[in-house]
A and B are shown apart, each in its own frame.
Chain A
Amino acid sequence: MSRLTSLPPGKPLRPGHLGAFNFRDMGGWHLLTNDWGRHLRLEAADFERFLSGGIKPEDPLWAALRQGGFLRDQMDFNDLASSYLRKNSFHWFAGPSLHMVVVTLRCNQKCLYCHSSVVDPSRTDTDMDLETAKRTVDFIFQTPNPTLCIEFQGGEPLLNWPVVKFITRYAQKKAEAARRRLIVALVSNFSLMSEERLDFLLDHHVSLCTSLDGPPELHDRNRPFLGGGEAQGKVVAWLERIQRRCQADSSRRAYLPGALMTTTRFSFPFAREIVDLYAGLGLEQIFIRPLSPIGYAKRVWSEIGYGPEEFVAFYERTLDTILELNRTGRSSLMERTALILLTKILKGEDPGFMDLRSPAGAVLGCLAYNYNGEIFVSDEGRMVDHEGDPIFRVGHVAENDWASVLDHPTTRACVTASVLENQPMCSQCAYKPYCGVEPVFHYETQRSVFGQTPSSPWCVSHMGLFDAIFRRLRDPGASAVFEEWLARDQCRWQENDPEPAGEPQGGGRAYAP
C-alpha cells in the first residue's frame, strides 16, 4: 500500500453517513482525524463497523464519534468552527511575527552541516552595517503583527556585537513608542560570550539559545573551531554560567538558556549520551532536529546525511530514552518536537512553529534578513540564495515596503504550494490537521516548491514522527508523561506570557520582556 495506507479489501462501505475525515492504518487499529483538529483511535473491527454504518446511537463509540465530528448528521457546527479557529490561530495573526536577522555571515566554527552559509572571520564585508540595521528594524516595524520576535542569527552573531546591541536597543525603543510587544532572541555558539556581553543581554531580556550536539567526541566532530580547539567544553561552560546567573535572580529565571541539537550520521550511536548530557545540565528541553539537505549541507550529504527513515528511528530511540528518564523520575527533560506535535494533537492549538503550518510560515509567519538588507521568505531561502539561486528573495529593506513583499510572486508561490488542500496526498493524510510542507525544502530536494509528496523525504520523516507520537499515546505510561509535559509547558507560558507567538526557528524560547 501507499504511505497513506489503504482499506482492507472487500469490506462493506456506507460513506453517506460519514463526516469529513482522513484515516490511517496503524497496524491493528486506525487513526481518524478531521480538519477541525479532532482525532479518534479505533480498533480495526470498530473501524470496519464505522465504515459500514454499523455503529448505532446505543453503541459506546457513538458519543466519541459524534463529539469528534465524525458523523455527518450529528455535527455541532459552532463547536467544530471554534476548534478549527483555535487550531489555525495563526491565520488571524496579521503578518509575520518572527524576524530572523543575519548580522554577519562570519563564523569562527566550520560546522560539517552548516547550511547557514558562513564565511571566514576575516570577511568583515559580510557584516551588517548600522544603516542597514536601522532600515531592517524599520522594515520589521512596518509589518503589522502586534507581536514581533527578532532573532539574531549568523554566521556567529557575536562577531558583529555592535550591531546586535544597536538592533536590540533601537527595536526596544521603537516597540516602547509604538506599544508593541517585542521579543529578542540570540542564537550563538557562545564561544565569544563575555561577562560584559552577558550583562547586556540579560539586562535587555534577550533570550539565549545555543547549539549543543552531544558529548565532546560528537559535538567537536560536528562543530569544529577554525584552527581547532574544544568547542563543546566552551558551550557547556557558558550554558552553566548563564544558568547560574538566571537562577540567582528570580526576574531572570524566564530567560534560562536553551540549546538545540542537529542530528548528523555521527549522532546515531550517541542517543543515550546526548540525552544524559542535556539531563545532566538541567536543561528543560532538547530539540532533536534533522539535518536539512539545503545549501552547504546538500554538498556534503553523502558524508553526514541519512535517509528520513534513519532519522525517525534515531528520534524514536532518543525519545524512548527521554520518556524512560521521566517515568523513573531521573529527569524531567522534555523533547521539543514531541511538545510541538502534542500541542497540536491534544490541545488543538497552534504552538507557533513555522514549518508545520498550512500555509507554511514563509512570509506570512516569518521573514529572514541578510546582512546586506536582502529579505527572504525564510532563513532556508537565504541559504539557497547563498548557493547562487536568488529565487526566494522577496525584497530589500532599503527598496521595498511590507505590501510589496507580501505581493511578491515568490510569496504567492510559497503560500499556494504549502496549502495542504493543494497537495493531493497531504489533503487525504490523517496528519493533515497538524502538519505542513516547506516550499524551500522541496525546491532544494525535488526542484519544485510544490514537491512530489509520495517521494518526499519531508513527508517520510514527518509521517514517521507523527506515527511515533500517536503510537506512544496508546501507551498509558508514555501518555502520562506527555500530559505532564503539556501541563508544564502551559505553565511556563502562563508564567511568562500567555501567548507564544512565532517561536524562534533556532529553538530558542520566545519570552516577552
Chain B
Amino acid sequence: MRTKKAKAAGTPRARISRDGSVSFELSVKREGLEPILGAAYLLTDRAYASLDGDRARLAVTLRPKSPSCDLKALSEVFLRELETQKLRWAIAKNNLPVHEFVAEQAVLLANGRIPPPSPPAPAADDLSEEQRREIERLIAEVEEEIKALNQKKLLSDPNKIRASWEERQEAALGEPSPTQEERPPARALGGP
C-alpha cells in the first residue's frame, strides 16, 4: 500500500503482483518520458521491462529474471533510478545548446576556420562588453555557417570522406595550402 507520506510527496506507487512482477503507474507529464524509459532500461540487466499506456500515463512492469529477486527492493531501485534519471535528463537538456556549440567550435578548429585558443581565456563573467559582442557575432557567424552546411551536406561530400587518396591529391594540387588530410593529425589538432 502507498503510505500517506509517499502520497503527500507524490512518490509513484509500486504494485507488487502475485505473478512475481512489480508495476508502476506513472504520469508522463510529472516524471518525464525519457526518465521513465531510462530507468526501466537500466534495470534490464535484472528484470524484463514492459511498458503500456499513452502520452499521458505509462505503466511500467518489471518482471525479475531471477526468481530469488526481492520485488520490494527492485521497486525501490526503480524509483531511485527514476529520480536520478530526472536529474541526468535535466542536465542533458539544459546543456544541449552548449554541447552543440562546443562541438561546432571543435569542427571549425579542426578545419582551421578559427584560430586555436590563446590561454588564458577570460571567464564568462570577466568579459568586457566588446568581448561579449564579439562572441555574439561569432555565434551568429557559426550558426549561419552550420545552416549553410546543413543545406549542402545531403548532396555533397565537403570533407571528401568518400574521395580516394588519388582524388584528394588531385584536388590538393589546385589549393595554395596543405589540406587537412595532408597534415599529420596531431599537428593539425594543435598537439597536446
- Interface residues, chain A, with chain B CB atoms under 8 Å away: 1-4, 6-7, 9, 13, 15-16, 18-22, 35-36, 51, 66, 72-82, 84-86, 88-95, 141-147, 178, 180, 347-349, 401-403, 406-407, 424-425, 427-428, 452, 454-455, 498-499, 501
A7 close to B181 (CB less than 8 A): no
Check if B69 is an interface residue, CB within 8 A of chain A.
Answer: no
Chain B, range 100-116, C-beta contacts under 8 Å to A = 101-103, 105-106, 109-110, 116
CB < 8 Å: which of B84, B109, B110, B162 contacts A407? B162
Check if B132 is an interface residue, CB within 8 A of chain A.
Answer: no
Quick one: given A51-B87, A454-B44, are A76 and B185 in contact (CB under 8 Å)? no
In the bound complex, how far is the Cα of B130 from the Cα of A279, in angstroms?
60
In the bound complex, how far is the Cα of B80 from the Cα of A91, in angstroms?
37
- Please name 17 further chain A to chain B contacts, defined as beta carbons within 8 Å, in addition to the given A2-B45, A143-B164, A452-B44, sorted by A numbering: A7-B87, A19-B91, A35-B102, A36-B102, A72-B95, A73-B124, A76-B121, A79-B121, A85-B109, A91-B110, A92-B185, A94-B159, A94-B160, A94-B180, A144-B163, A147-B184, A455-B45
In the bound complex, how far is the Cα of B189 from the Cα of A143, in angstroms?
21
CB < 8 Å: which of A84, A88, A406, A452 contacts B162? A406
Quick one: given A347-B192, A499-B185, are A406 and B161 in contact (CB under 8 Å)? yes
CB < 8 Å: which of A18, A35, A86 contacts B190? A86
B104's closest neighbor in chain A, by CB? Answer: A81
Quick one: given A18-B91, A78-B121, A84-B103, are A7 and B83 in contact (CB under 8 Å)? yes
CB < 8 Å: which of B101, B162, B168 contacts A403? B162
B117 close to A78 (CB less than 8 A): yes
A86's closest neighbor in chain B, by CB? Answer: B189
Residues in B with CB closer than 8 Å to A454 are 41-45
B185 close to A89 (CB less than 8 A): yes
A-B contact pairs, 8 of them (CB 8 A): A13-B87, A35-B99, A78-B121, A86-B189, A92-B180, A142-B164, A403-B162, A406-B162
In the bound complex, how far is the Cα of B116 from the Cα of A79, in angstroms?
9
A95's closest neighbor in chain B, by CB? Answer: B161
B124 close to A75 (CB less than 8 A): yes
In the bound complex, how far is the Cα of B101 from the Cα of A484, in angstroms?
36
**B87, B159, B187 — which one has the most chain A CB atoms within 10 A of its CB?**
B87
CB < 8 Å: which of B84, B121, B124, B163 contacts A7? B84
A84 close to B182 (CB less than 8 A): no
Q: Could you tell me the distance in whole angstroms from the C-beta of A67 to the nearest C-beta in chain B?
A: 9
B189 close to A425 (CB less than 8 A): no
Range of interface residues on B (Cβ < 8 Å): 35 or more
Residues in A with CB closer than 8 Å to B41 are 424-425, 454
For the complex of A and B, 9 pairs with smallest distance between CB atoms = A81-B105, A20-B95, A78-B117, A2-B42, A454-B45, A6-B84, A15-B90, A85-B106, A455-B45
Residues in A with CB closer than 8 Å to B163 are 144, 403
- Interface residues, chain B, with chain A CB atoms under 8 Å away: 37-38, 41-45, 77, 80-81, 83-84, 87-88, 90-92, 94-95, 98-99, 101-103, 105-106, 109-110, 116-117, 119, 121-125, 159-166, 168-169, 180-182, 184-190, 192
Residues in A with CB closer than 8 Å to B168 are 94, 144
Q: Could you tell me the distance in whole angstroms from the C-beta of A409 to the nearest C-beta in chain B?
A: 15
A80's closest neighbor in chain B, by CB? Answer: B102
A21 close to B106 (CB less than 8 A): no
Q: Could you tell me the distance in whole angstroms from the C-beta of B106 to the nearest C-beta in chain A?
A: 4
Quick one: given A19-B95, A74-B125, are A84 and B102 in contact (CB under 8 Å)? yes
Residues in B with CB closer than 8 Å to A22 are 88
B166's closest neighbor in chain A, by CB? Answer: A142
In the bound complex, how far is the Cα of B110 from the Cα of A351, in angstroms?
18
A76 close to B106 (CB less than 8 A): no
A1 close to B121 (CB less than 8 A): no
In the bound complex, how far is the Cα of B116 from the Cα of A499, in angstroms?
19
In the bound complex, how far is the Cα of B160 from the Cα of A178, in angstroms?
19
In the bound complex, how far is the Cα of B185 from the Cα of A450, in angstroms?
29
A84 close to B106 (CB less than 8 A): yes
B185 close to A501 (CB less than 8 A): yes
